[in-house]
Each structure stands twice: as structure tokens, then as C-alpha cells.
Structure 1
């Protein structure tokens, strides 16, 4: 019902034609549907648009078959900078939205304030920086950042858990007791680590459960993923925590390469080293053919954490198996298939 409230009911009330893609979400099927129906607005998780970008990169003239006013709303996970820039290159405007089912489901939308919009619609690095954030809270939605010391300042730096409240924000779960999901004063605890800048824009830095605690310090998996995605050979990337006896947790990266490109683990680690301090760098990079996803298109990090732990156990206790596994095809969780390539 939450998605019906965002798309279907408003579309019906305004007489907008709705186009439903059905089960075929591959790049070719999506492109054909967008072109044949002249879709002007579509929404989806970032992983949905990789194939469309690849298709347009290989044949830029195909853009003329799409509606000139095509816009995308990207939600579910953060849109990487490389993806937003690529879509801009093909004259497809991408806008961030953020929400949860408990918010019915939208809580923020990244509309640029007038003084942040460059004349003529061209983006500078300054305005792009705001477009990459999750956006401004919707009217009547209150937000705050909570730390162990209380509410944090809106300075664009102070990170804590994002709390929300509003007239359509859930106050509880039906037939389920979940006291940890709401604060004592009635705010929904989102489970997102975030900060808010002086303009009021929300920036989600990670899910609290996806942050990696190494040696008492926090490592942001999303920042590492976005840096990996900036490499031209990388199509998808996911970084998860791997248990470590000394440091508690260490980053473990899973990477899916583009079909016509190649890269080595050392090459990718070297690229990360230009952006991050050494203790942020992943201890391992695993190249896999498919990154497991839920039906919504979101990456299943629970499955990847289990796989990372399993691979590390093999490497630690049976080093003879590591060399045997090199180049071999393995069956991974949730039907994911991969190869060790180090």
C-alpha cells in the first residue's frame, strides 16, 4: 500500500498513464518499454539502471528513442556519483529520494533550492554534491540526528542515527512489540547513520548495521562502494564486515565487473588507497558474477557477510583449498555464482 500511495493513487487522481514493467527488468526490456511508452518518470533502485547506462554508452544515438523529458527517481540505496554523472551525460535527470515503509514510504526528496541550481540547468560540482544527498524532509516531516550525547547540530559533519516523526510516520507495528524502533519521546529510529547540513539536506552515510567497526573506529561501507564504482571496469560493488580476531571487523569487498572490462584486486585496492587511509582498505576483494539481491533489487548484505566469513574460514584453516579454488566456479548463497580472482 505504501508504494500505491506514492505512485498509483496520485497517478490515477491526476489522469497520468501508468506503465508497469512486469517481471522483465533486464536492460533491453526496460529500454524497449521506456521507449515504446515514452515514459517521462520512472523510479527504481540504482542496480536497475546499470544496464540502461551501458546500453546508451555503447550506442548514444538510442537516447533519441526515449522521451526528451525522461527523469528517474533513485531510492532504496544511494545513487553513486558515477551513475548520476553518466545519466546526466545522456540527458536523463536522476533525483534522490529517501524513505521507509514506516514513512508511507517517502521522507525526503532531493530537490535543489533555487540558489543551489546553476542557470541553464547545467550542474557544477557544488550542485551535484547536493543532488547526491538524500534530500530535504517533506513538509510536515520532522528529522533529527541523535548521538549518545543527544541531538546533533546540523553542520554537515555530526553523524548519528536519523530519527523522524510526522503525521504519516508509523507509531508502531501491528501485533508486534518493537520498543527499540521508537525513541522514548515518540520518534521513529530509522537505523540509518546520517548527518544534516546547514541547508537542511540529509546525507545517509550508511545503515548502522552495515558500518564496519575496526580497531574501535568506524568504516563506512557506502563510501568504499562508491569509490569502487568509480572504476570504469566495475559494474556493481558491495562492501561488508568480516569478523577479525584482532580488529573485531575488517572490510571485505565483492565486485562484479563489466562484461567487456577487466581489473585486478591490487588495481582496485590501489584506487581506493588514493581516497582513503590505509586502515579503511578492504582486506580482500572477491570478484563474482552476480551480487545477490532481494526482489526489490536491494543488495543482500546478510548473504554476503555469511559468504565473506565462509571464505575467510577456508583461507585461514585450509590454505591448500585457496589455491585449488582459484579460477573455479563456486555456488554462493541465493544462487549467486562467482570466481576467486586475486
Structure 2
């Protein structure tokens, strides 16, 4: 017996038409090199319709990849809808990648057209002759004075829109499983791999961003996505905002803590999201800004130090809202909301809960697997294992079948590479990445936990822990520490701070002070860079702090 419901494909045209019909009066603020602009969703939607025609004019084929090399702006948001709603595939390009990676990704995806902010032309144009499949480069003039090349392949975005007749019909996607967007991983080993999002996965993921026990986007919100629109579709916030009808503030190229804090205050932003390094930089500025409109500060990309989250709670009454995921999970898989079982806890105990990655959001399934034996581990907050994920917005394979048998299990689960414990309520607590675990004398040491404890020191701005060779224990931890400006700190003080907080054999054998923890293209700690820098470091004397 079949259900007698209408079959309506879950596709992004619904998101566009809903925003256009219900929320045309709402605003989209965009900061660009030339300054700040504001337009209504109705005005923005008319431009999306013109852009749909432009893609036809440029002879961009159905199912073709439309590359974007842009900041977080309203015109990037126009591309977010115009490309997938017309059956093309939005391909957001990471503006911070190494040139050879960028060339590889564009060629691997076979982009036909790339839309580029004028301020980013100096980064992209030197590579143009290596981009084998790109026929058109459309320059979005954001007010930069960067030189625009005289080349028949180069077009002006606004000129194209002005000449275009707006698409007058209803956007239709017949197959909800067809590709809507793609984004490449920012992995530190091997070539980046393509993750292809379907219309169905994008819509379902957007709905989850409206869930109360999560981000909980509503029409009354003003949302500022700090997370780049080239990174896992800005965690789904652009589509979620349009679906909910929230006002949107897009910060453009100036991503300094001072600029973000000023925008949050000026526009009375209620929801924002970004990686921990952004919020670390903004923490000292909180007393100077009225951020009383904020109700949620989404934080992900890497583990959130408890001290950082508590710093926000103490300063403005709003702790960071910890979420976990990856490009392959669209990316939201868990959100660390507190629930009724936590009501009786002390503030310090609730802070421990908020420092976890949280439980899986609805429709996402998680399991904990011992990577060496393949055995499923219990959710007892003690057993550790690799998190494996499954769900309707979790990748089943990479573009062109890469990673088969390595990143995906035989029964179809995604191997995330994150090692964690899970408590009986389903709250995930990350221990480490599988590649970053330190095995000392046969026992595992979690670098993430050590980093969080080090960063709880009031004089520490950042800390990253890596493994260094040891003649007896094979590996021992080294702490790479960044001291806050104007402060002084010794290795002995770091060790003394750790001694009552972690097991004796977890104490680092070495503490190195550095100016800054190197970051990946999406703002995560680049431990690969640190391992290369300190790869020759080896303690000469066997440590008495090693495991028994």
C-alpha cells in the first residue's frame, strides 16, 4: 500500500520562490570593497532572475559547473540560487587555497565559467591559462582598483545583468537527487576531493537550521555568516536564512575582529557563525560593543576551547554554540544545545556540556567504531572510537568515485577521521583526529583535550599539540603555545597549569612558544605545518612522565 501524498521534489527553487513571495520586504546588507549596500529580497530576487538569463546567454550548459571565487556578498548569494535553480551546479572555490590546488580543483570539476570579485582578480588571473575548461570569467566589480584584463573571455557582471531580461517563469528541478552544488575538501593530505550536494540534501539541511534545538533560525532573526560562503556552503546559513525569512548581513572582504564586531553591533545581529579563531580575536573587543541582540554564536570547524566559550558567556551572557561537521556532512551533524537533563547542573558542569560537540541533529545517525578492530563501541563516555556518520545530507562517495573503500565503509557510512567518546545521551566529545592522536608507550593521548586545557590558562591565546619522536615512548606531546599580547609566560608555568588537570603521562615533554598557530584555508589549526617545522625535534632523555 502506497501513501497518497503529492510528490513534490525537495529542491532549491522552493527556497527561492518562498523567499521571493513571502519575504520580499526583508533586507540583505552587503559589505564590499566600495562600502556597504542594502537591498530588499524582492530586488535581490529580480537580479537572480536576470542572472538565470545571463547563464543562458553565456551558453553555460545544463548540469555544468559554475565556479565562484568570491567573498560573502549579496552577489555571491545571487549565484547561490541562480546556478542550482536553473539546473547548473554551484561550485564555490576556496579563495585561500594554494595556486596548484586551485588549478587542480577547477580542472577536476571542469568549471565552464568562473565568477570572480574584482578584488580577487590578482589571485585568480595569473592561473588563467592553466584552467583548461573555463570559457568565461565574469568580474564582479566590488569597488576594488585591481586591474581588469582586456580579454574576450572577461565579462562585467553588472553589464551582463543590465542587458538581460529577467527569467519570468517558475524555476523547476524535476529530480531532487540532481546535483545542486559542490565543494572540495580542504584536506592536508593528497588532492582535495569533491563533495557533491543534491537539491534534496540542501533543502533538508536547510530545514534543520530552522530547528529549535539547533540554530533555530526564525523570521525575526538578523543573521551574519562569518563562515565563508566557499566553505561547505557557509554551513547552510544562506539557504536557511532565505527559507526562514531572516534579514541577512554579509561581511565581504574585511573579516577582522574589529569589522565583524562593528557589524554585529550596527545591525543588531541575533545569529552569527564562524570558526574559533574569529571569536578568539573578537573576545577582547566585547566590552566596547553593544551586542545585546545576539542570541546564538555558532562555532565550528575545530574544537571550541571551553575558556573561549565561557569568556563570551561572562562578557555578554551568550556562550558559543558548539557544532560539529565537515564538508562531507553538508556540514551540520551535531549541535551542543543543553537539554532538560542538564538543568540541575552547576554553571561549571553546564560549561563542560557546552564544550562537547553535542548530539546528532535529527536524521543524522552516528556510531563509534574502533578503527583497528572495526567493532562498534558503547556510548558510555569512556570508550573511544572513530565517529562514523550516515544520513540524507551525508556524502556517499566523492566526485568521480575517489576515496572508495577508504573514506566510506562497505555498508555506506562515512568515516569522519574524528576520534571521540559519546555519553548515554548521545553527546559527542571529540578526542582528536585519527591522524593527530599521539601514541605514547602504547597509550593514546588526545591532542584536542590537551589544547583545551592549555588554552584555559589566562595568558594563552592559542595552543596546538603535536607528537614528537621519543627514543623510549615512540611519541610524546609537544605544546606549541601563543601568548596573549603584553603577557609573559614560561614553559614551567604551562606545565604547572596542566599538572592538576591531566594525567601525569599526558604532560608535554616540550613547550615551544610561537607567534601564531598556522591555519588551513578554512581557519583550522594546521598541525601538518607544525609537524614539518618540529619534525626533527626529539627529546634526548627518556621522559619519566611516560605511561607506566
What residue in structure 2 maps to residue 322 of structure 1?
A: none
8 Å contact kept, 1:252–1:308? no
What residue in structure 2 maps to residue 52 of structure 1?
A: 282
Distance 1:26 1:17 in 2: 22
8 Å contact kept, 2:310–2:319? no
What residue in structure 1 maps to residue 55 of structure 2?
A: none
User: Structure 1 residue 69: deviation in Å?
Assistant: 3.1
What residue in structure 2 maps to residue 333 of structure 1?
A: none
Distance 2:417 2:495 in 1: 29
Which SS does the other structure have where 2:451 is aligned? helix
User: Structure 1 residue 123: deviation in Å?
Assistant: 5.9
User: Structure 1 residue 15: deviation in Å?
Assistant: 2.2
Q: Deviations over 1:288-310 (max 9, x none)?
A: 11211123211111000111114
Which SS does the other structure have where 1:136 is aligned? coil
8 Å contact kept, 1:70–1:93? no
Q: Deviations over 1:98-133 (max 9, x none)?
A: 111111111111122223236xxx962332222111
- 1:238 matched to 2:464? The reply is yes
8 Å contact kept, 1:158–1:195? yes
Distance 2:458 2:234 in 1: 37
Distance 2:306 2:366 in 1: 25
Q: Which residue, 332, 347, 352 being the options, matches 1:124? A: 347
Distance 1:126 1:6 in 2: 30
Q: Which residue, 254, 259, 268 being the options, matches 1:38? A: 268
What residue in structure 2 maps to residue 140 of structure 1?
A: 363
The TM-score with structure 2 as length reference comes to: 0.53
Which consecutive segments of 4 or more residues in structure 1 shift more than 6 A? none
User: Structure 1 residue 149: deviation in Å?
Assistant: 6.0
The alignment of Structure 1 onto Structure 2 pairs a total of residues equal to 306
What residue in structure 2 maps to residue 323 of structure 1?
A: none
Give unpaired runs (5+ residues) of structure 2. 1-180, 182-231, 541-548
Q: Larger Cα Rg: Structure 1 or Structure 2?
A: 2
Q: Which residue, 22, 27, 30 being the options, matches 2:252? A: 22
User: Structure 1 residue 156: deviation in Å?
Assistant: 1.1
- Bigger Cα displacement from structure 2, 124-133 vs 189-198: 124-133
User: Structure 1 residue 30: deviation in Å?
Assistant: 1.7
What residue in structure 2 maps to residue 285 of structure 1?
A: 511
The TM-score with structure 1 as length reference comes to: 0.84
Give unpaired runs (5+ residues) of structure 1. 317-342
- 1:109 matched to 2:335? The reply is yes
8 Å contact kept, 2:274–2:299? yes
Which SS does the other structure have where 2:248 is aligned? coil
Which SS does the other structure have where 2:448 is aligned? helix
